Amino acid sequence: MTEPWSSVDEVAKHLGVAQDSIYRWIEARGMPAHKIGRLWKFKLSEVDEWVRAGGAEGGDKPASKKAPKAKRGRS
């Protein structure tokens, strides 16, 4: 069975943070996310691994790799 894709809202609830934090982490800290159309989608296993590796730690830590720019709102 394959892991389902999760939305920004589902990831925010999973981590107990605001949706704005998710968008910031995609842009500034390389949070694993996949752009499908105009929506960001996630695999919770990838997000959990990223958190365990310290990706969500405080401070102004730069992303380990260039992340795609997160856009909100309608295109």
Task: Name the band, by pLDDT with cuts 50, 70 and 90, for residue 72.
Answer: low
User: Residue 16 is part of which domain span?
Assistant: 8-52
Is residue 13 predicted with pLDDT exceeding 70?
A: yes
Give 14's Cβ-side CA count (13 Å radius): 15
Q: Is 3 within the bounds of a domain?
A: no
Mean pLDDT of 19-23: 96
Structurally, how many domains does the chain consist of? Answer: 1
| Residue 50, token pair as written in the block | 């990223």
- How much is the pLDDT for 71? 62
Q: Is 61 within the bounds of a domain?
A: no
Q: Is 20 within the bounds of a domain?
A: yes
Q: Is 42 within the bounds of a domain?
A: yes
Q: Is 22 within the bounds of a domain?
A: yes
Q: Is 48 within the bounds of a domain?
A: yes
Mean pLDDT of 58-70: 54
| Residue 2, token pair as written in the block | 């394959």
The DSSP annotation for 8-73 comes to HHHHHHHHTS-HHHHHHHHHHH----EEETTEEEB-HHHHHHHHHTTTT-SS-PPPSSPPPPP--S
Q: Is 28 within the bounds of a domain?
A: yes
Mean pLDDT of 64-74: 56
